[in-house]
Amino acid sequence: MPTKAGKQTMNFRQHKERLLKDPKVRKEYDKLEPEFQLAHSLITARLKKGWTQAELARRVGMQQPNMARLEGGNYDRVSLPTLKKIARALGTRIQVRLSA
């Protein structure tokens, strides 16, 4: 979609599709799929309840910036018990599995 200056703009999905055509980018993106899936599930469940990040964080006993990090896919320091508390607060459950 052209802008006033004649430059083209692209939305996020178009940009993502373009980037994922690069095999190196695709490989790294695919490595992060579990984090993306978990973040998507978390956000979807929270929005279904009509809660803000702050509301969910309060119900779980954590700070909103920490919830924002989880929704951003940063799971480096999160424990399974914490994920269970979040799931309980949302009325959902955790499924963990390993696959080849």
pLDDT digits (tens, 9 = 90+) for 21-36: 999 999 988 888 888 8
pLDDT for 33-45, tens place per residue? 888 899 999 999 9
Q: Is the pLDDT of residue 4 over 90?
A: no
Q: Is the pLDDT of residue 2 over 60?
A: no
Mean pLDDT of the chain: 89
Q: Is the pLDDT of residue 3 over 60?
A: no
Q: What is the assigned CATH class of domain 34-100?
A: mainly alpha
Cβ–Cβ under 8 Å, residues 76 and 66: no
Q: How many helices (H) and strands (E) does the chain have?
A: 6, 0
* Residue type at position 24: K
Q: Where are the domains of the chain?
A: 34-100
Q: Exposed, middle or buried, 61 (CB in 10 Å: 0-12/13-18/19+)?
A: exposed
In the numeric block, the tokens 């996020």 are attached to 12
User: Measured between alpha carbons, how far is residue 77 from residues 3, 6, 31, 34 in Å?
Assistant: 43, 45, 18, 15
